Structure 1
Amino acid sequence: MYKRFLVFFICFNCFTQLLPAQQKVDSLTISLPQAEELFRKNNLQLLAQKYSIDSARANIITAKLYDNPEFGFATSFYQPVTKKFFDFSNDNREIGLQYSQLIKTAGKRNKAIQLAKTGVQITEYQFYDILRTLRYTLRNDFYNIYYLEQIQRVYNIEIQSLQKTTAAFEEQVPKGNIALKELMRIKSQLYTLQAELVSLQGTIDDVQSEFKLLIRAKAYGYIVPLATIDETPKNIVQNVSYQSLVDSAYLNRYDLKMAKSALIQSQQNLSLQKALAVPDITLSAGYDRLGSFVKNYNNIGFGISVPVFNRNQGYIKQADAIVAGAKVQVNATQDGIESQVANAYLGAVRAERLLNSFDPGFEKKLNTFISEVTQNYERRNITLLEFIDFYDSFKQNVVQLNNLRFSLVSQFEQLNFTTGTNIFNQ
């Protein structure tokens, strides 16, 4: 068991010695505003959605276009009188011309244009909703990396302290001043912390990977978040009324705007389907030189279909059902938004109250005590169990404190996400 611990310890130390050098070469120190700027400029999902908006706008151009006129020309292939093919003499040449133009009725063109414009609006709302979602992920990852690195520093402090203690004890064991079992217990604690640190670094790498993808930073690089956060206790959430947050969500959430626009679009489609039941008119004009009952025959006319069998009944009924479903979807989206805001608000209130109950100087006191405890243990003023217990308590308390801080910031971001605003900013 001791040999396995020793091999792990040597490998881990080799890895940690190499890692800082790589991070210095490829690290990117970045503030949150800088990250958001890179995100808006480089994120591929946003760029792809912008092309979807351009595609939807092209539908408006299509809807505005009029139907093309139709023109026909015909001439005789064989002249029975002269018994000639393609006889184009002045007296025997047969020529027929035909022209027609479709005229849409019942405002079909204008209805199609309005339908296409609403489609563009929905696509734009989709873009802003994707922006809202990805921006929340970006900001949450930024603060997550920041607080995970604070926790990582705690592990580094404890590991460095235990490494010094271990090195000192290894010199004293052969002299009989320190029991071997005491050295092994210290080493066991050291290896446990190192293993936990490796796991923590894996978590940081996962969050880093997602964050770098959002801003399109180098995949092999390392993000160093530059955050300035005021840790003094304050009542931010409790000073904002819940109803104002709900009202803000109803006003700013783009998924709700999408649902309302989808309802409008379904109503416009129903209107269009009813208009399609009204027959269109075809105007026509023609000329025939020799093929009619008189020479140089010309005509003008119009045609219209008689709506006896097909009055677009199926599509009208389908469109009517879509309108009913869209109305339900608007109500469902509103209910979902209110539930999300309530959940985020309650979570933020609880996190804020809990964090405000902590002593502001608690972390500084712990950092001071850790060096004092190490010195007292080396002087044999406290027992091994007391020493190990304090190290565990120190780590757990600092880790918990940073987790609570991140939880509060994350709840702020959740409130911003659910209300579609930037009400809470660190």
Structure 2
Amino acid sequence: MTLKILALLLGSCTPLCAQKSMSLKECEQVFRSNNLQLLAEQYNISQADADIIQAKIWDLPEISFTGNAYNPDDKKTFDVLHSKDVEIQQLFVLGGKRKKEVDFAKTNKELAKLQYNQLAVDLLSQLKETYYSLYYDGRKLLRIDNQLSFLNDLLQAYKIQTSKGNISLKDEVRLQTLILSLNKDRIEITNSILASQNSLKILTGINEEIIPEWSVSEAKEVLENAPLISLEDLQKKAEENNADYQFALKTIESNKAYHTWQKSFNTPDLTAGLQYSQSGGAFKNELNFTLGIPIPLWKQNKGNVQKAQYITEQSQKNAEFKKNELYNQVNLAYQTWENQYTQFRNINQTDLDNLESVYKGMQDNFRKGNVSLIEFTDFSDSYNESVLQMNEMKKQIMISAEEINRLTQTQIFKS
């Protein structure tokens, strides 16, 4: 049966608060189309495309016109009919500068793609972890509300009997203490649910309260999924697929391209053109060609080349750090998941079923007077703690498994 926490959230939601039941797959689909942060990140790729286009554009040719301002022989001003020069020049970039700039721009586009991929993975992982938290917190709330419903009715009956002198006040106080403890747990869980709801709204762009549509059998199947893969294999997959680490490697490549581009600036560029002179040259209507090139007496871009080299070396060290950090993050995530999963698997399902049966039996026997109030409240307190811990354990297993998926960027664990 699908878990419904609609009624559980009514106490923390205004009457006008809209709610919507959604599966995890539906949340993922809405996330990909609605998440504003992800949509905004796509523009960085488009900007990188524009940089590539710009790098390919040639410098514009330059045309200049010289006309007579004052003719001292004929005493005329602006005598352009008898004396004018026209010159057109084009800068020819040498040393492969343009190609190297394009290559550098292309590496920046690859970096923008990797940044987008990493953001998509991080946000999607956050979505899944929030969904799992909402589901298991809802189950906690369901159990607490079931207990509170019974205990609040019992407290009202005790108050009546206390007022009549049939029951000691200390019994009523003991019952109130148990209810206060449960209400404290309920407030904490409700606040966690509200935070999860707020996070899902931001991630999906949906303003309604999202109710997890996840059956108990589906949750159990995913929870018990334990793929046979070693820590070393997980670390290798992370090294191959993690976009954050790939970004560090691509940064080295980008910085090398930038270094090569900067070195090309030490090759001087050529300026060539044509010049027409009506009467200012050795001949009438003279047509000349022009060539100009800086004299490479020293390497004018030496400082930028050195800087680019240092940046490249720095990025290599950063990549080494990123690899070491990634391996340790995978190790921590794996150990965390393994510890929690081992603890969970050591719990016998029969023991959990017995716990539920005993609790129901305690309620029935308490109604019949076969169990004292002290015994009942003590057991109820232990039962509540066990239920909360069990659901928290399941939630943390799912979250740590998703963290492994995020780091390796491989669907190691089913979701």
| Shorter-chain TM-score above 0.5 | yes
User: Secondary structure in 2 aligned to 1:282?
Assistant: strand
Structure-1 residue corresponding to 2:41? 49
Aligned partner of 2:273 in structure 1 is 284
- Per the TM alignment, residue 244 of structure 1 is displaced from its structure 2 partner at its CA by 1.6
Q: CA deviation at 1:344?
A: 1.1
* Percent identity (aligned): 27
Total equivalences in the alignment = 406
Provide TM-score, normalisation by structure 1.
0.90
Which residue in 1 is equivalent to 2:260? Answer: 271
Residues 366-422 of structure 1: CA distance to partner in whole angstroms, max 9, x if unpaired? 333333223322333222221111111010000011111111111110110111111
Pick the aligned partner of 1:31 from 23, 33, 52. 23
- Separation (CA, whole Å) in 2 of partners of 1:23 and 1:364: 37
Amino acid across the alignment from 2:191: G
Equivalent AA in structure 2 for residue 94 of structure 1: S
Which residue number corresponds to residue 7 of structure 1?
A: none
The equivalent of 1:109 in structure 2 is 98
2:32 to 19, 35, 40: 40
TM-score relative to the length of structure 2: 0.93
Query: Is contact 1:30–1:223 with CA below 8 Å preserved after alignment?
Result: yes
Q: Tell me, yes or no, if structure 1 residue 60 matches structure 2 residue 60.
A: no
> Which residue does the alignment assign to 1:229?
219
- The corresponding residue for 1:303 is 292
Question: Could you tell me which amino acid in structure 2 is paired with residue 19 of structure 1?
Answer: G
CA contact (8 A) 2:67 2:80 kept: no
CA distance in 2, matches of 1:21, 1:356: 36
**Residues 74-111 of structure 1 deviation map (CA, whole Å, 9 limit, x = unaligned):** 2111111111222355xxx2111011111111111111
- For 2:275 and 2:92, the matched residues in 1 are separated by 17
Indicate the larger mover: 285-294 or 383-392. Answer: 285-294
| Structure 1 residues 285-364: aligned runs within 5 Å | 285-364=274-353
- Asked whether the equivalents of residues 233 and 360 of structure 1 are also in contact (C-alpha less than 8 Å), the reply is no
How many angstroms does 1:52 deviate by? 1.0
Deviation at 1:360, TM superposition (A): 1.2
Q: Distance in 2 between matches of 1:421 and 1:349?
A: 18
After TM superposition, give the deviation of residue 310 of structure 1 in Å.
4.2
Determine the structure 1 residue equivalent to 2:380.
391
Deviations 1:278-301 (A, max 9, x none): 101111210111223432222112
Q: Given the alignment of the two structures, is residue 413 of structure 1 paired with residue 405 of structure 2, yes or no?
A: no
CA 1:211/1:233 → structure 2, altered by over 3 Å: closer, same or farther?
Answer: closer
User: Matched residue of 1:300: which SS?
Assistant: strand
1:11 match: none
Query: 1:159 Cα deviation (Å)?
Result: 0.5
Q: 2:70 aligns with which of 74, 78, 87?
A: 78
Structure 1 unaligned residues grouped into runs of 5+? 1-14
Distance in 2, matches of 1:223 and 1:110, equals 51
Q: Which runs of 5+ in 2 are unaligned?
A: 1-6
Query: Over the residues paired in the alignment, what is the CA RMSD in angstroms?
Result: 2.1
2:409 corresponds to which letter in structure 1? G
How far is the alpha carbon of 1:232 from its aligned partner?
9.3
In structure 2, how many angstroms separate the alpha carbons of the residues matched to 1:281 and 1:232?
A: 67
Partner of 1:124: 113
Q: Name which of 196, 206, 230 aligns with 1:207.
A: 196
Judge conservation of contact 1:23–1:222 (CA < 8 Å) in 2.
no
Distance 2:375 2:222 in 1: 32
Tell me, in whole angstroms, the C-alpha distance in 2 between the residues paired with 1:347 and 1:314: 49
Equivalent residue in structure 2 for 1:253, among 210, 229, 242: 242
Distance change in 2, residues 1:394/1:288 (3 Å): same
Q: Distance in 2 between matches of 1:235 and 1:112?
A: 49
Is the Cα contact below 8 Å between 2:8 and 2:141 reproduced in 1? no
> What is the letter of the counterpart of residue 68 of structure 1?
L
* Cα separation, 2, equivalents of 1:36 and 1:16: 24
Q: Distance in 2 between matches of 1:377 and 1:80?
A: 125
CA deviations on 1:157-213 (whole Å, 9 max, x unpaired) are 110110121122233224433222211221232133223312221121112111211
Encode CA deviations 1:237-266: one digit per residue, 9 max, x unaligned: 5x2122221121111111121111111111
Listed as ranges, the matches of 1:86-97 within 5 Å are 86-88=78-80, 93-97=82-86
Amino acid at match of 1:44: L
Distance (whole Å) between structure 1 residues aligned to residue 388 and residue 9 of structure 2: 24
Q: 2:66 touches 2:84 (CA, 8 Å); kept in 1? A: yes
Native 8 Å contact 1:363 1:398 kept in 2: no
Aligned to 2:137: 148
1:5 maps to none
1:302 CA drift (Å): 0.7
